[in-house]
Amino acid sequence: MNHRSGSLRREPALLVLADGAVFEGEAFGAVPDDGVSVGEAVFNTVLSGYQEVITDPSYAGQVIAFTYPHIGNYGVNPADDEAAAPHCSGVVVRDLADAPSNWRSTGSLEDYLVSHGVAGITGVDTRRLTRHLRDHGSAPCAFGTAAEGDLLAAARSAPPTDGRDLVSTVTRSTVLTRGDGPYRVVAYDFGIKEAMLRQLGDLATVTVVPAATPADEVLALGPDGIFLSNGPGDPAALPGVIAEIRGLVDHGTVPIFGICLGHQLLATALGATTYKLAFGHHGGNHPVRRTSTGRVEITSQNHNYAVAADSLGATEVTHVNLNDGVIEGLASTEVPAFSVQYHPEAGPGPHDARYLFEEFRMLMDAHGGPSGRDGGAA
């Protein structure tokens, strides 16, 4: 890969969708030698937090187009990373800031992307792109400095996220321990974010395990609670993971809390089905109504799949998206398990829904925590 510094004239580049739509721009970041980067194009409406978005492992396989026009203005810093490295396939912006200014900044967004091998395209008419994706749905795309015909061919051959196990590309391979709270929580890493680990670490000593960890191994650790993390891709492509979660549900005594992909996987283990949204929910300002109180929360969201309302079994809907009615939260009526589709841990925010971690703590209290379970007691 090569790199065009922000102080130099950038190379012309194109973004081409699989349906033939073409958007002009200029290359930035880590430019592949063949001038082609591919992925599924989605748009995100956050006004700030671009580093947290780019490093969210849930974006594996996707190209992120930011609707906010000015990106990179406050630089990057290690404290805002949600993972050790980005897993997204590329970044699309209208106006890239070449001279970031912020007391927390340790470098520019472009240099950060170069260091991690992530390509980008700037100068794109992101309003037109967003309207196109909103009207026609998320789509495979290709972008870069290659010829338009080559980019179109690459876009049309790029795989969508449907039916793909992307979790295996982002999950850890070894066990990690975080936090020092009084409870014991086992967290499945389907692409877990640092912000989640910080929130859980305030409550518990958290044992983070790989996505394929069997249910009996998790129960043998004697947890007060089990956490199902966010992650990328199609939940229906993870039958093995769903089977293990079903085993945890059937055990019936250890509280379970799921977020985002964890919500979809828990719902599936409880008997529901999922479907792909046309263009997903990606942003930091989605209104969600809590059904028990009628209170409206402003939430951060990042998902392409949702739980089908007509497939629910022994569960109650706890939260609903006010934009389109999508289910945003569920609770089992038979076992201590609940989940939300959105991100209560979100950094930099909003923080309206952080009470859900306290609800997880109270649920663990009601079922023997903290540390009321012995390892191997399952």
Catalytic residues: 260, 343, 345
CA-CA distance, 193 to 190, in Å (whole number)? 9
Instruction: Indicate if the alpha-carbon torsion angle 231, 72, 346, 303 is positive or negative.
Output: negative
CA-CA distance, 298 to 244, in Å (whole number)? 32
Using alpha carbons, list the distances in angstroms from residue 141 to 206, 284, 299.
38, 24, 28
CA-CA distance, 41 to 27, in Å (whole number)? 16
Give 3-state DSSP helix, strand, coil % of the chain, rounded to 5.
25, 30, 40
Written as one letter, the residue type at 142 is: A
The strand ranges marked E within the chain are 2-3, 12-17, 22-31, 37-44, 62-66, 70-71, 90-92, 95-96, 119-122, 139-144, 176-178, 183-189, 204-210, 225-228, 256-259, 274-290, 296-307, 315-321, 327-332, 337-340
Instruction: Report whether 46 contacts 283 (CB < 8 A).
Output: yes
136, two tokens: 């026609």
Closest CA to 108 of 91, 125, 124: 91
